Structures are given as C-alpha cells and as structure tokens.
Chains A and B, each alone.
Chain A
Amino acid sequence: MILAVVLLALVVTAVAAPAIASRLGRNAGYPLAVAFLLIGALLATRAPDVLDGGTVSLNWEWMPSIGVSFHLHLDGLSLLFASLVLGVGALILAYCPRYLGTSEQHQRLYMLLTLFAMSMLGLVLARDLVLLFVFWELTTLASFLLIGGAGRTAVQPAARALVVTAGGGLALLAAAVLLSISAGTTNMSVIMADPSVVIESPLAPAIAVLLIIAAITKSAQLPFHFWLPDAMVAITPVSAYLHAATLVKGGIYLLMRFSPTFAHMTMWTVVLMVIGLTTMIVGAAFALKQHDLKSLLAYSTVSQLGFIIALIGVGTPGALAAAALHTFAHAMFKATLFMLAGIIDREAGSRDIRELGGLRRVMPVTATLTGLAATSMAGIPPFIGFISKEEAYSALLETPGPAWTGWLAALATVAGAGLTFAYGFRIFYGAFAGPTTQRKLYEPSMTFLLPAAIPAALGLVLGLTVGVLDPLISRTVEDTMLTESHAKLSLWHGFGSPLVLSALTIITGMALFFGRYPVDRALHRHRVPLTGADAFNHTVSGSIQLGSWIGLPARSHAIGAHIAWPLAALLVLGATGIAMRPDVAEPPLSTTRPHDWAVVALLAIAILALCLTTTRITAIVLLGAVGFLVGFWFLLAGAPDLALTQLLVEILTVVVAVLVLRRLPPTFRRIRRPRAILTAAIAVAAGTVAAAATFLLAGRRDRSAAADYLIHNAKKDSGGSNVVNTVLVDFRGLDTLGEVTVLAIAGIGLMALLRGTAEPNILPADSATAPPDRLGNMVIPRFAARVLVPMTVAISAYLLFRGHYEPGGGFIAALVAGVAVAVLQLPHGLDHPPRLRAPYLIYGGLALAVLTGIGGLADGSFLRPLHGHLGIGGAEISMTSSLSFDLGVFLIVLGMAVSAFDRLGRGTTGELPAREPELARNGQGGS
C-alpha cells in the first residue's frame, strides 16, 4: 500500500507543481524538494524491514484478461535506486530555483521533473513486466519532453534521444512478451523465483539479447551512445538529474534486475563485458577530447555506465556489489559535477574547461566542491569512487572462465579508469591550478551551492565510513544474485592485486595528464568517419526519400495507376495458380469449333485496331464492333436472347457515347512509348491469365439444381416457354420489380442531377469548322428516320409480346424502342427535347408494374401472375398478367434510355467551373 501511496503522492505533487510554480515562480523548487524528501522519508520507514531481508509488495489486478497486474515491490535493489531517484531529485529541485531565470515560466519544467521522478520510481518498483515497460516508456517520454523543452536547437537531439530509447523500449516490450510466454506469467516475482524455467526455454538467448538492447540504448552504450552527448542541450538540472544520475541508470537497473536469471549465461557475460569495456574506454577517450564541460561529463557518463555494465556482466556477487556501489558513487559525483558545471556556466558564462584556470582564487567554495567530485570520479582515496573501483578490480579479476579473461578485463578497466583519471584530474587542475583567467567572478550564493555541496561531501564522508552502506549493498546483491551476501566494504583492502591496479591506474592517468598536449594532438588527429547522429540523420532522410518514392503511384490522379497495383497482385496470384499446373478434368464440350477461331481472329483484329487508334470516334466504333462480334459469338454458341441483348446494348452504348463524345477532344492524348509498352504488357498478361483461368475453371459443371427445376417447371407453372423471361416476370418477379425500381431512380436521378446543364448549344464558336447548314446536312437521316422508326417500333412491340415464349421481353423491347427514339432524336440535332417525357414513362411503368403485382393479390400473393384465355375468332390466345408487368418493365427501361438521351445530349453550362486554387495537392511530396 505504501508503495502506491508514494507513487500517488508524486503524481499529486506533479499535478500541484504548475500551480505552485505559477505562484512562487522559480522558487517552486524548494517546496517540491521538501515534498520529495517527505516522500523519501515515507519510503524510508520501510527501509529497515527491507534491509533485514523483508520486502514490501502490492499487487492489484489491472488487466486480468491478459494476466497483467499492477504489481509493485520494494527490495534492496529497488531501494538503492529509489533512494537515488528521490534523493538526487530533491537536490536537483533545490538547485533549480537559483539556476533558473526569473523571467520565464517554469510550470512545465517542474511538472515534468516530478512526473519523471514518478515514472522512474515506478520503473524501479514495478514487479510486472508490462508495468515495467509502461514506466520505462514514461521515463523516455519525460526525458524527450525535458530535452525538447530547451528550445529550437533541442528539437533534433530530443527526437534522436526519443527514437533511440523508444526503440530500446520496444526491445524491452518484445523481451517482456517472450519472457511472459516462456514463463507463462508477467509476474516478475514468479519469473525470478525459478530462473531455470526461462533459461532452459529456447527463447532465452533472444530474451537476453533484447534485454541487453533495451539496456544499452537507455544507458547510452556503443553504438547507441550518441544521443546522450546530444541531449546536453537540455538545461543543466535536467542533465544532472536525468542524464547522469537516474534515467540513464534505467538500463543498469534492468540488467541488475534480470541478473538472477541470466547472470550465469555465457553469452550474457561476454556481450555485456565487451560492450561495457569498449564503451568505457571509447567514452573516456571521447571525454578527454572535450573542452565543453557538459560534453565532457556526458561522455564521462557514457564511459562510467559502460564500466558498471561490464561489472554486471561478470555476474558474481562481488561484481554486483561493486556495480551497485559504483552506481551510487557515480550518482554522487556526477550530479555534483553537473550542478557545478551549471553554476560555473551561470557565473562565468562559459563551460569551456580551458577557461576555468585558477578558479580557486575567485570562487574558492565552488572550486573545492569541484575538486572533491573530480577526485572521487578519478578514483583517488579516500573517496567513495576509489572504493567502488577497488571492489570492481577484485571482482573483475575473478571473472568466471579462463584466468586470462579476468586480467584482460581488469587491464581494459585500468585503461578506461586511467583515461577517467586524466580528465577528472583536468577538471581538478582547471579548478585549482594555473593562472586565474577570469578575475571578475565571485562566489554564488550559498543556496545555489548547497545542493551541489551535499553530494560532494557525501562522496567523501561515505568514502571514509563506507561500512554504513554494507546492509544496502548486501541486500542488493542478494536480490540480484539470489545468494546470501555479507558485503564488507572498507576503504583499505590491504595489499593485493586491486591496489596494484589502482596504482597502475593513477600512474596511467598522471602520464596522460602530464602528456596532455601530445595526447590531445593524437586524439584530435583522428576524426570519427561517421558519428552516430549523422548515421541517424542519414537513415531518417533516406527512409523519407524511400517513402515518397514508394508513395509515388498513390499520388497519381489517373485511375490507371491505382488499378495497376491490384491488377498486378491478381496477376501474380493467377500466374502462381496456373504455374502450379492444377489437375483439371477435360471440358465436357468441345472447345475448338472452326468458326470460334474465326470470331476470335476478328476480335483480335478489332481489339488491336482499338488499341492503335488515335481518334475517339474510331475507338467507339471499334468498341461497338467488338461488342457486336461478342454478340454474334453468343448467337453461334446458342444463346439468342443473350446475343440480342448484347447487340442492343452495344447500339445504345454507341449512341450515348457519341453524345458524350461531343464534349471531349476528338483525339486521345498521346501516350509516351514506355508507358504504352508497360500497359500493353500488363494488359496482355492479364488477358492471358484471365483466359487460362477461364479455361481451367469454367465449363466443367453440370446444370445446377435450380436450372433443372426451371427448365422442367417453367412451362407448367407460368405458361411461358422462354425460361429467361419467366424467371424475370414470374419466378423472381419481386427481384425484377426491385431492379427496375433502381433503374427508375437512376433515370430520375439523371434528370435531376443534370438539371443544371444549359439548353443545347452545340454550334462551335469557330464558324469556319462548323457545317454551313446543319439542318440541311440532316435531311437524309431525317428521311431515313421516318422509314426506320415505324419499323423499329413494330419490332419492339413484337418482341415485347412474344417475350413470354420466345427470345424477347420487356427489357429487350425497350432497348429496341430506345434505338427508335435515338434514330428519331439524332437528326433533330438535339435542339428539340425528346417528344417522349422520360419521367412520365418511368412513373407510368412503375405504377403499372406495381398495380399488376397488386392484382396478383386476387390470387393470393403479390405479383402472382393471373392467367386467362382470350378467344378471338377461332384462335385462342392465352393471356397472362405477366405481360402487363413486362410492359411496366418496358416503360421504365425506355424512360431511362430517353432520359439519358435527353440529358447527356445537351450541352454544358457556358463555361467550366474555375479550377479551385486548392486543387493542386499541396499536401504531398517529400520534404
């Protein structure tokens, strides 16, 4: 419970922070620091318990269905990190007021700092994998916002830091998922309790690698180290708190937390030690190159974290003890140094280490504190930094595996520590020795110095009385190694290898310091060919480029470009299917009759000509020819009504298309050859695949049950012998009614939608190209119409009446009648509106069809046909109400055709609408 209270208290503090800051301005840091101390004290009440081996735990259900709980847990390791979070946090908040300016607003900063503390505390308390990840990401976000808040120059570094650490966060998420799968739970207590379950699963190496990736991104290890020096654009309190003392320790915490499981895995040891030691040396060398105090400290942090990670990799109780102690020591001296860097920056206006000379004469206290912290960092007795290094040396020498590995690791550490000594001593030297370069400086107020003084002093005091840390370190080791541990920390270890190594370190460091000029030259001679930040930026701009390249087709305004993709996908699918040579039966009917080939040849010619033509009118004619040929083919295949419909639709299509054609340029736009070749290839491929698929998939089934039923029963049930027509007007009469209603709506819709088009005005403006006497030109068609129209109407009527028995019917008849209307209409040049009124035809047809249906109610149900016989003379004609229903269909279809002629035949409004200026897609393209 107390854990939840602690977290909640921090949330409340964060919520209250803006209000406090708007009242107190920059001084809001003081009450917040007090709040941190109180919360820390609250947590500390349970510290004795924990140090005695107890734990504090809290487990609430959170997402029971996926087994995730809100599980907090306080043990020694958590206590160590929690004390850093709250302790250093309080110091930083107390430091902020004097550091920050009086003019700006600080609500956001204080709130984010407190929120960060909350998430960091949550991270070290979380006992559920998902919860751990949640807090991990929250710390990343807080860090991002805190870096980014530093102004324009901070945008890029903030984004880089976020991407690297959030990427690591995803690795952690993946690790969490794999862990929960291999262990069957997200409860870390259960996972920790029996490491063998995880370690023996095949996923163990993957989990280890993912955890390491997560840790080294967060803790800025090679090759992901670049974000940390970049992040120094943030204001100094943020750098001190997040990027030295706490946030970057997240990776350390993670590795220590999972040490019980993986510490004995060889890969874990090797990878961590290689990465850690490499980073330690390289980071320290980079630090030695820096003149800017904050950059130096950033690389130093990178290096020191590498040192700790190498120790965790060793995976022995002694090494973990050293790692824990060094984590603590590092937080002390690095927080101090950052705060002092901020003070010097504020007072001297420069962070260049070369300008610090003789600081002790003008700022004695600052110089002393700097000296204390730098000495601790350099690892000089009696500071805590010395003790942790001693511990580390003795642990490294006992690295598991062959004896030489221990010595190799120890010597590598000597090299890294020597470099650390060298830059640590440079700071020390800068503060105390040399001529005073800036005489006008004076000591800042004590309130500014005090927060830095406390950890600096602690580094010395704890070095002398390091025994007080024994319980905490022992407990931490017990939590991370699952073994009993009784750490005995002391300043003096007696003579032995560690002391020799320490001496060697100091000698190396001194040599590097005194030879600093040649060392500097050597360091500056070699430039890194590619920095991490550059690589990052290249990757980003490269992927943006790639994205705009891939997205190119989707930006096209042409439909073709959009169709190409699904078509290509389908082609691949079809080609794969055909390539697999499916086993199909022989088609029941012979597929190769001679006249089929003749039709195919004609079709091929027509289509080829269609593709090659450049004028629209030819294309329409050829398209019509293709349609006619297909209709003819239907006829040859024995489907007369299909053929009839096809032919009529073709005729009407050509008529309507010609009407539309008047508004388009006479020729097609020229198409570039490569594009033409490409589309031709796609078309041919699509045609081939479609033909193959048709051959393979069609024509191998018997007549369906429904077809059998209709063929046998149509005559008996409906009196009609044309099965197609009986289906339309009788068996599925309701469907037909629905369909013609849609058609009716479409016809009326066409009338309504195009109502805005102006009265016909087709005389071209350029009278030279216009025919001199348009009406005169039309004499022949008009005369022909007089002959043709009555004949067509007669055919139409004939088709309508015989529809029930022979190919024909209302739909086909209406198409014929439509042709008649077209023939009548075209010679009049469309100046006259059609004599037939489409709406009346449509309304009449619909009414007739519905009334016929209602008539069917007399025989029991809607649309049931009524049969009767009409005797005329000797002949007896059977009459059925289906005919009147079909007449309704006829009227509607005709009405639709008429409305199409009417509306499409008219001209457009005077001018086309002005193109909207926004039409150009301003929202596209790469940046």
Chain B
Amino acid sequence: MIAPSIEYSALLPMIIVFGAGVVGVLVEAFVPRRFRHAVQVILALAALAAAFVQVVRLGGTEIIGAVGSVAIDGPALFLQGTVLVLAFISMFFFAERRIEAGGNAFAPAASSLPGSEEERVLVQQRALQTEIYPLSMLAVGGMMLFPAANDLLAMFVALEVLSLPLYILCGMARRRRLLSQEAAMKYFLLGAFASGFFIFGASFVYGFAGSLEFAEIDAALGARVGQEGLLLAGVGMMAVGLLFKIGAVPFHAWTPDVYQGAPTQVTAFMAACTKLAAFGAMMRLFYVGLGGIRTDWQPMLWAVAIATMVVGIVVALSQTDIKRMLAYSSIAHGGFILTAFVAVDELAIAAILFYLAAYGFVTLGAFAVVTLVRDAGGEATHLSKWAGLGRRSPLLAATFGLFLLALAGIPLTSGFVGKLTVFTAAFQGGAMPLVIVGVLVSAVAAFFYVRVIVLMFFSDPAPEGPTVAVPSVWTTAGIAVGAVATIVLGVLPGPLLDLAEQAALFIR
C-alpha cells in the first residue's frame, strides 16, 4: 500500500493557520501570563499574514489534493484570501484593550460562574482572556477548509471545525454574561442539530452515489436510476445544514439571539466570515457535486431565497436593538446572495464572490462601530440610545452611516456594486421573480437603514445618552480599513470584480 501523497504547498495556508491555533494552545500553557496577550496577537496576525501571502502565491493553482478531499481552485483561493483578510481585521478588534480599561471584550475566565466571587477577583486582577486567539485560529482554519472541501466528509469536518470554536467564542462576553452564555448554548444546540442534518443527508447521498467525492457524486447523478428518493432526501438535509450556517429562513432563528448575545467583536467576525465560508461550501457542493440535478434543488432555493429576503427585511424593520437589526439585515443579505446562487453560472459565482467580500468589510466595520457606543452597562445597543449620535460624534456616526448606506446598496458604496452584480447574475440566470422581490425588498431595506441615519443625525440626543469610547489604534485601524474598503469597492470595484471573475471556475 502506497502512502497517499499530500500537496503540502497548496494546503500550506490552512496548515499555517491550524498550526498557529495549536501553537496558540501551547502558548496558553507555557508562556507567562504577562506576555501571553502580546504573543498571541503577534502569533495570530503573523499566521494570518503568512497564510495570505501563500494564498496569493498560489493564485491560479487548480489542483485537487489530499487524496481528492480538498480542491484548491479559484473560488477556494478567493474565499480563503478574503477570510484571511477579514480575520486579520477581526483580530484588531479582538486585541482592543482600551475600551474596557485594560481588559478585552471577553470574560477573564469563561468557566467562572457569572456573578461569582471568582469572576470578581479575576476582573479585579485584570486577568486577560487570551484563549480567544487559538480558538479563532481554529475557526479560521475551518472556514478556509469549508469552501475548499471537495468531498462530503471533509466538508463536514470543516463545518464542525469552524463551528465549535465559534460556539465557545459566543459565550465569552465580558458583560451580560448570561445573555452571552444563552446565545452560545442556543447556537450550539441548534448548530449541532443542523450539523446532524448535514451528516445525515451526506450519508444518504453517499448511499446513493457510493462515493463521498463531489466528482463521483456528479457522475452518479446521471447513471443511477431508481434511488432518487435517497438522493433528494440527502440533498434536502444537507441543504438544511448549510442554510443554517448562512442563516437563511426558516433556519435563521438562531441568528438574532446569537448576534446579540455574543461579544460584538465575535459577532463581527462570525457575521463576515461564516457566511463567506458557508456560501463557498454551498457553491461547491451544489455546483460541482449536485449541478446535474439543479432543476430539483432550484425550486427549493427559490422559495428559501424569497422567504429569506422578505422575512429578514420585514423583521429587521421592527427591531429596536442595533445588533438584532444588523442580524436580521445579515439574514436578508444572505437572501440577496441566494438570488444569484440559483443562477448557477460563472457570472453568478463571480457576483457571489464579490458580494461576500464587499459585505464582509461592511459588516466588520458596522459591528466594530457598535462596540464603541457605550454606557455604564457596556455597549448601548438600544436604538433609542443612538439618537443624536451625529451631534456627539459626527465622525463615528458618519462612518456608521456609510456602512448603513453600503448595506442599503446606495451607489458609490461596495454594497451597490455587489447588489448590482448579484441581481444581474440572477436575472441572466432566469430568476426574474427573485430579482423583482429583491429590488422591492431593497427599497424597504433602504428605508430602515435610513431610519437609523435619521435617528443619528436628525434627532435630538437623549439626555443620558451613551458616550462614544475612544478606542485604541487597533479598533480605529480596523474600522478605517472597513470604511476605505467600502468606498474603494464602491468607486473602483474593477480590480476585485476582475479577480472574482477570473476566480469563478470550480475545478471538478
């Protein structure tokens, strides 16, 4: 028996990130507490940067490696690169220590009971939570593997690897810890439920095709007759698992609670990167593995896309908490991407890739701004507290306004170009009704984003309103990158669009 060959250079980005996660655990164990934070931050940033460099060097690679289980091709590299950049910025927010007066946004020890003496002592000692870095490295590694997974098992493993650290990260908020833990619990239980669906469905599809590899599943689609029931049941269940990660209706119920309860930095990271990874995986599974039966799954995704857009926006309208509002908006954006998803062609892939990147920057920035608007109890997320923010802190409010305009898809922001490409792709793919719904929903969406802008700029500040924390250079830099990316991708989207277009070919 010959040992399987592994294409190390193509897998190097993932190896670097996973390696950094493992080294991070060792750092936790052996490096003295005082140096730990600095070491972890440097380690994480260095690993992400190194992995990114390697992804860039791999540009144009098209191989199926690791004995058929991982495909390194255009979409995979594009998404890996984007995840790395977004994670790099997320680390900036994780490293922020000025807002909490020396602490970071995470509970000093996640295992200490909320409200207990132990917690009080730890807070007093200014103990720093540094396990978030290895955890997030592992999650990033999973997110890189997810869109590159070329068989059902690798995909499931990636799904779990990216999800488990996120469940933990969600429960680590420094403030409102019970809310945070409830969010983590909910996310975990529902996430486990969804993963169960995925693996169940995967086993059905395996039962049908006799193989886990996408190429062979594709080959089996035309060849086997009489077991479509098994196949379709499997596809449906896997779709449930993936749509859950995307937060599509009716599998969205976790999103608002989790986005609200998780530490906002984690919410930002999760909202930007998970969606990206999940859409990447979904594209590969449905385009490469199941493209042959697209007429069977397209109607299902049509229904999901419409429900997602409509429910996301309509419910977002009624929210009075900024994080919940952004959560529902992220649901709706998932719906917008799904409209292109059903088109199944290269134009659609390029559109989705661009949209995901553009949306990632906007989301990161928007949530990062939320971390800065604070009152005595931590972040002031109730919308009424944001009234008149434009008077108090014009620059911050203007930045947030920019992100909201981008989410609304107003021209000269990245959101507009994203929406334009996505809807164009959907239209050319024959999904005219989806586009109509999408455009109508966008109009409603614009209304509620603008409502917040109105609130910030044209309302009188509340007398006991929140203060705007002065962040360290970390958060400032992160938000600045998000804002610049939002404008640059809106004004000069050409280069990234070209890149997405070049990348829009799945290797089979």
Residues of chain A whose beta carbon lies under 8 Å from any beta carbon of chain B: 61-66, 130, 133-134, 137-138, 141, 144-145, 148-149, 151-152, 154-155, 158-159, 162-163, 166-167, 170, 173-174, 177, 181, 540, 543-548, 550-551, 553-555, 557, 559, 561-563, 565-566, 568-570, 573-574, 577, 582-585, 693, 696-697, 701, 752-753, 755-756, 909, 913-919, 921-927
A568 near B420 with CB under 8 A, answer: no
Number of interface residues of B (CB under 8 A): 94
A144 near B228 with CB under 8 A, answer: no
Q: How far is the CB of A400 from chain B (nearest CB, A)?
A: 32
- Using Cβ atoms and an 8 Å threshold, which residues of chain A touch B193? 563, 566
B424 near A66 with CB under 8 A, answer: yes
Q: Indicate whether B204 reaches chain A with its CB closer than 8 angstroms.
A: yes
A148 near B454 with CB under 8 A, answer: yes
B420 near A130 with CB under 8 A, answer: yes
Which of B232, B236, B240, B318 contacts A926, CB < 8 Å? Answer: B318
B250 near A566 with CB under 8 A, answer: yes
- Mark each residue of chain B from 246 to 260: 1 if its CB lies under 8 Å from any CB of chain A, else 0: 000011111111001
A923 near B323 with CB under 8 A, answer: yes
Q: How far is the CB of B116 from chain A (nearest CB, A)?
A: 6
Extra inter-chain contacts (7) besides given A148-B458, A557-B182, CB under 8 Å: A166-B447, A173-B439, A181-B428, A550-B314, A551-B318, A562-B186, A923-B260
Q: How far is the CB of A681 from chain B (nearest CB, A)?
A: 18
Q: Indicate whether B111 reaches chain A with its CB closer than 8 angstroms.
A: yes
A166 near B240 with CB under 8 A, answer: no
Cα of A583 to Cα of B427 in the assembled complex, Å: 36
Cα of A855 to Cα of B156 in the assembled complex, Å: 33
Cα of A574 to Cα of B234 in the assembled complex, Å: 11
Which of A63, A551, A913 contacts B114, CB < 8 Å? Answer: A913
Which of B112, B113, B229, B328 contacts A577, CB < 8 Å? Answer: B229
- Using Cβ atoms and an 8 Å threshold, which residues of chain B touch A548? 315, 318
22 contacts between A and B (CB under 8 A): A137-B411, A149-B458, A155-B458, A167-B446, A170-B443, A177-B427, A540-B447, A543-B314, A543-B317, A545-B318, A546-B314, A546-B318, A547-B315, A548-B318, A569-B251, A584-B229, A697-B230, A921-B260, A923-B323, A923-B382, A923-B383, A924-B319
The 10 A-B pairs with the shortest beta carbon distances in the complex, nearest first, are A923-B321, A913-B115, A547-B318, A548-B318, A551-B315, A134-B411, A582-B229, A565-B250, A562-B253, A65-B497
- Mark each residue of chain B from 277 to 318: 1 if its CB lies under 8 Å from any CB of chain A, else 0: 000000000000000000000001000000000010011111
Q: How far is the CB of A370 from chain B (nearest CB, A)?
A: 33
Q: Indicate whether B377 reaches chain A with its CB closer than 8 angstroms.
A: yes
- Closest A residue, CB atoms, query B451: A159
Q: How far is the CB of A159 from chain B (nearest CB, A)?
A: 6
Instruction: Tell me which residues from 442 to 482 in chain B have a Cβ below 8 Å from any Cβ of chain A.
Output: 442-444, 446-447, 450-451, 454, 457-460
Q: How far is the CB of B460 from chain A (nearest CB, A)?
A: 7
- Using Cβ atoms and an 8 Å threshold, which residues of chain B touch A148? 454, 457-458
B420 near A66 with CB under 8 A, answer: yes
With known contacts A66-B420, A163-B447, A756-B116, A174–B228 Cβ distance under 8 A: no
Q: Indicate whether B423 reaches chain A with its CB closer than 8 angstroms.
A: yes
Q: Indicate whether B190 reaches chain A with its CB closer than 8 angstroms.
A: yes
With known contacts A565-B251, A585-B226, A922-B382, A544–B318 Cβ distance under 8 A: yes
Q: How far is the CB of A379 from chain B (nearest CB, A)?
A: 38
A155 near B177 with CB under 8 A, answer: no
With known contacts A177-B423, A756-B113, A64–B454 Cβ distance under 8 A: no
Q: How far is the CB of A559 from chain B (nearest CB, A)?
A: 6
- Closest B residue, CB atoms, query A156: B454
Q: Indicate whether B381 reaches chain A with its CB closer than 8 angstroms.
A: yes
Cα of A137 to Cα of B419 in the assembled complex, Å: 15
A923 near B319 with CB under 8 A, answer: yes
A916 near B315 with CB under 8 A, answer: no
Cα of A923 to Cα of B423 in the assembled complex, Å: 33
- Using Cβ atoms and an 8 Å threshold, which residues of chain B touch A144? 450
- Using Cβ atoms and an 8 Å threshold, which residues of chain B touch A151? 458
Which of A566, A921, A923 contacts B251, CB < 8 Å? Answer: A566
Cα of A135 to Cα of B22 in the assembled complex, Å: 51
A65 near B459 with CB under 8 A, answer: no
Which of A133, A544, A557 contacts B317, CB < 8 Å? Answer: A544
Cα of A543 to Cα of B494 in the assembled complex, Å: 37
A158 near B454 with CB under 8 A, answer: yes
- Closest B residue, CB atoms, query A556: B253
- Closest B residue, CB atoms, query A925: B320
- Closest A residue, CB atoms, query B325: A923
- Using Cβ atoms and an 8 Å threshold, which residues of chain A touch B182? 557
Q: Indicate whether B146 reaches chain A with its CB closer than 8 angstroms.
A: no
B112 near A583 with CB under 8 A, answer: no
Interface-central residue, A138, A540, A569, A582, by most chain B CB under 10 Å: A569
- Closest B residue, CB atoms, query A917: B377
Q: Indicate whether B421 reaches chain A with its CB closer than 8 angstroms.
A: yes
A913 near B116 with CB under 8 A, answer: yes
- Using Cβ atoms and an 8 Å threshold, which residues of chain A touch B251? 565-566, 569
- Using Cβ atoms and an 8 Å threshold, which residues of chain B touch A574? 233
Cα of A573 to Cα of B229 in the assembled complex, Å: 11
Q: Indicate whether B100 reaches chain A with its CB closer than 8 angstroms.
A: no
Cα of A756 to Cα of B118 in the assembled complex, Å: 9
Which of B316, B442, B501 contacts A170, CB < 8 Å? Answer: B442
B420 near A543 with CB under 8 A, answer: no
- Using Cβ atoms and an 8 Å threshold, which residues of chain B touch A554? 252-253, 255-257, 315
- Using Cβ atoms and an 8 Å threshold, which residues of chain B touch A917? 377
Q: How far is the CB of B196 from chain A (nearest CB, A)?
A: 11
Cα of A569 to Cα of B307 in the assembled complex, Å: 12
Q: How far is the CB of B274 from chain A (nearest CB, A)?
A: 17
- Using Cβ atoms and an 8 Å threshold, which residues of chain A touch B190? 559, 562-563
Q: How far is the CB of B448 from chain A (nearest CB, A)?
A: 9
B451 near A916 with CB under 8 A, answer: no
- Using Cβ atoms and an 8 Å threshold, which residues of chain B touch A134? 411-412, 416
B253 near A64 with CB under 8 A, answer: no
- Using Cβ atoms and an 8 Å threshold, which residues of chain B touch A159? 447, 450-451, 454
B176 near A919 with CB under 8 A, answer: yes
Cα of A144 to Cα of B447 in the assembled complex, Å: 12
B443 near A167 with CB under 8 A, answer: yes
Which of B240, B257, B410 contacts A570, CB < 8 Å? Answer: B240
Cα of A909 to Cα of B115 in the assembled complex, Å: 12
- Closest B residue, CB atoms, query A133: B411
- Using Cβ atoms and an 8 Å threshold, which residues of chain B touch A925? 318, 320
B233 near A697 with CB under 8 A, answer: yes
Which of B179, B228, B458, B494 contacts A582, CB < 8 Å? Answer: B228
A63 near B417 with CB under 8 A, answer: yes
- Using Cβ atoms and an 8 Å threshold, which residues of chain A touch B321? 921-924
A65 near B454 with CB under 8 A, answer: no
- Using Cβ atoms and an 8 Å threshold, which residues of chain B touch A752? 111
Cα of A149 to Cα of B439 in the assembled complex, Å: 28
Which of B226, B257, B260, B320 contacts A583, CB < 8 Å? Answer: B226
- Closest A residue, CB atoms, query B425: A66
B458 near A547 with CB under 8 A, answer: no
- Closest A residue, CB atoms, query B230: A697
- Mark each residue of chain B from 197 to 230: 1 if its CB lies under 8 Å from any CB of chain A, else 0: 1000000100100000000000000000010111
B411 near A697 with CB under 8 A, answer: no
- Using Cβ atoms and an 8 Å threshold, which residues of chain B touch A753? 111
A137 near B410 with CB under 8 A, answer: yes
- Using Cβ atoms and an 8 Å threshold, which residues of chain B touch A162? 446-447, 450
With known contacts A543-B314, A566-B240, A919-B178, A65–B250 Cβ distance under 8 A: no
B439 near A562 with CB under 8 A, answer: no
- Mark each residue of chain B from 363 to 403: 1 if its CB lies under 8 Å from any CB of chain A, else 0: 00000000000000110011100000000000000000000
- Closest B residue, CB atoms, query A163: B447
Which of B237, B240, B383, B493 contacts A63, CB < 8 Å? Answer: B493
Q: How far is the CB of A774 from chain B (nearest CB, A)?
A: 28
Which of A137, A145, A547 contacts B314, CB < 8 Å? Answer: A547
Cα of A909 to Cα of B236 in the assembled complex, Å: 46
Q: Indicate whether B169 reaches chain A with its CB closer than 8 angstroms.
A: no
- Closest A residue, CB atoms, query B410: A137
Cα of A170 to Cα of B501 in the assembled complex, Å: 25
